Amino acid sequence: MRIDKLFVLVSLPAVLLPVPFAAYADRPGVYLGASGGGYRINESDLHDNDNLVKGFVGGQINEWFGIEGQWTDFNRLDNGGSRFDADGKGLAAVFSFGPLFLKGGEFSWDSDSVIGGTVSDKDGNDPFWGAGLKLDFNRNLALRLEYERYDVSNVKLDAATAGLQFKF
């Protein structure tokens, strides 16, 4: 499934849901959640899309700043003689501006790939960043729509996800 189609499939239900979204200020507290979506790879002879899943836990320090940890699993992408498989953990600073947020941090990854005839099985750390929209159902439950950019083993990955966040 292409990323632009994924955005439509994820965004359209959020816009059309009869449940009114409230604009709750981000209050201090702990939250956790899970997301699913897709990622795009555009490297050498591997140009394709596949699925990913992500779990996250965070702490909102004040209404504009928080810290978030995540685990992301990029589904194995296999395209003829090329393949890509990766997963990893990330730690990021999250800056909230009403329902919008920006985040950036470090992503520790483990990758197994064959791209352009080059075999690679390694791990490492690289920066990642993202932006998103959090639509609150109530004070504890929110829908999160996110875009993130990862650099895994010198391969750029663009990811789009939708998920639920529960705040304690």
Question: 13 pLDDT exceeds 70?
Answer: no
Higher pLDDT, 17 or 159: 159
Compute how many other C-beta atoms are within 10 angstroms of the C-beta atom of residue 117. 9
Residues of 125-143 as b/e, b for ≥16 C-beta within 10 angstroms? Answer: eeebebebbbbbbeeeebb
Question: Which of 60-64, 133-137, 154-158 bottoms out in mean pLDDT, i.e. has the lowest?
Answer: 154-158
Question: Which of 16-30, 81-95, 97-111, 151-165 bottoms out in mean pLDDT, i.e. has the lowest?
Answer: 16-30
Topology of 3-167 in CATH? Porin (2.40.160)
- The predicted-structure confidence for 21-60, as pLDDT tens digits, reads as follows 555 657 899 999 999 999 998 776 666 778 999 999 999 9
